[in-house]
Structure 1
Amino acid sequence: MLAYACGAQADVFNMIDNQPLSETWLNAGFYSYHFQRDKNLNDSNPGLGAEYRFSTVASVTAGRFYNSDRAYSNYLGVYYQPIKVGPLRIGAVVGGFSGYPKMRDGGWFPALVPTISYEYQRVGVNIAIVPSYKDRLYGALSFQLKLKVFE
């Protein structure tokens, strides 16, 4: 019985075969559910961003949004999502952010954020599990709806 359960568990996580792609996605920012609900943080983070998926496991992303501290942020990064669980891609985005007043006085800083993505035909969602960092950045589940505009 245990061997069967372990085998079933192994079938849940699969590696994605790395193949070239050419897809462009646009998004209108994020909705963030902050873990620290008592901080009066801004959950609605409108903006404009783009993601270019150049392979089945990787894409580049850039954009601008109104952040949790009620200031404008810019971001630039690379998604690497080599694992799939059913229709979900799992990995992380590594890149840089700016615009958070308590983090490097609003300047650029590096970040590594775990992500889960779901894409179906022309629509998708990226979910970021944003970690807290001291009293400078506040953790959240961030949801980013996206629309495929070029293929």
Structure 2
Amino acid sequence: MENGLTAGRCVRTSIITLFLMCFFAVPAYADDFSVLLNGKAIHLDSQPGVTYNENNWGVGFQYDMAPVQEKWVPFVTASEFKDSNKNTSYYFGGGFLHRTNFEWGKTSMHFDAGGIAFLMKRKGFKDGDLFPGILPVVSLGTSRVAVNMTFIPKVDPKMVPILFFQLKVTLGTF
């Protein structure tokens, strides 16, 4: 029990540290801070006799830094959610998104595609220890609201491929 509590504290401390680094270690240009509302997983396959949780409720944040060369948006993120087995999972990491801006009617929108490198902790995988990962990510939306989607391939015989969705609500530019 002590190891589980220690690992949980380690993850929470790491998330808080990453969050504080965003505010104190970034250059002085406009960046966007967003709240992530985790909510939906679509399992693309099934295991006989297994029912997966597809309501992956949870909350997190994403901090998008000013674009590099006008097209690449670096970001850091951290989140917690109920996974496919209804256990709380945590991750933190960062990556880059290639941004394409366009107009839909009179609404300015963007489509981002890129990747995220992260550390994650989840019960029932890698003995509940932190493990690294790299996944593709896309995002579609406006400057205030977007939908993030990640594809998670089958990485273990007991798992199935998943599409994971988040609602990204931008609170402000810093």
| TM-score (ref. length: structure 1) | 0.79
Distance 2:120 2:131 in 1: 6
- Alpha-carbon distance, 1:30 to partner: 3.1
Q: Any unmatched runs of 5+ in structure 1?
A: 1-19
Tell me the distance in 2 between the aligned counterparts of 1:71 and 1:36: 20
Partner residue of 1:117?
A: 139
1:78 pairs with 2:94? yes
Is the counterpart of residue 69 in structure 1 residue 85 in structure 2?
A: yes
Identity fraction in percent = 24
Query: Which residue in the other structure is 2:37 paired with?
Result: 28
Deviation at 1:150, TM superposition (A): 1.6
Q: Distance in 1 between matches of 2:113 and 2:36?
A: 19
RMSD: 1.8
After TM superposition, give the deviation of residue 121 of structure 1 in Å: 2.7
User: In structure 1, what is the equivalent of residue 5 of structure 2?
Assistant: none
5+ residue gaps, structure 2, are 1-28, 68-72, 103-109
Which structure shows the higher strand fraction?
A: 1
Say whether the 8 Å CA contact 2:46–2:160 is kept in structure 1. Answer: no
Q: How does 1:2-151 map to 2 (within 5 A)?
A: 21-38=30-47, 39-56=50-67, 57-82=73-98, 84=100, 87-101=110-124, 103-151=125-173
TM superposition shift of 1:70: 1.3
Moved over 4 A (4+): none
Provide the C-alpha distance between the structure 1 equivalents of 2:160 and 2:131, rounded to a whole number of angstroms: 15
Tell me the CA shift for residue 77 of structure 1.
Answer: 1.1
Give the C-alpha shift of residue 85 in structure 1.
7.9
Deviations 1:46-105 (A, max 9, x none): 01100000132111000111111211101101031125385311111111111141x211
TM-score scaled by length of structure 2:
0.69
Residues 77, 94 of structure 2: 8 Å contact kept: yes
Q: Does the aligned pair in 1 maintain the 2:42–2:162 contact within 8 Å?
A: yes
Counterpart CA distance in 2 for 1:25 and 1:132 is 29
Three-state SS of the structure 1 residue aligned to 2:170 is strand
Find the aligned partners of 1:68 and 1:55 in 2 and give their Cα distance: 34
Provide the secondary structure at the position in 2 that maps to 1:45: coil
Q: CA 1:36–1:55 in 2, change beyond 3 Å: closer, same or farther?
A: same
Residue identity opposite 1:35 in structure 2: L
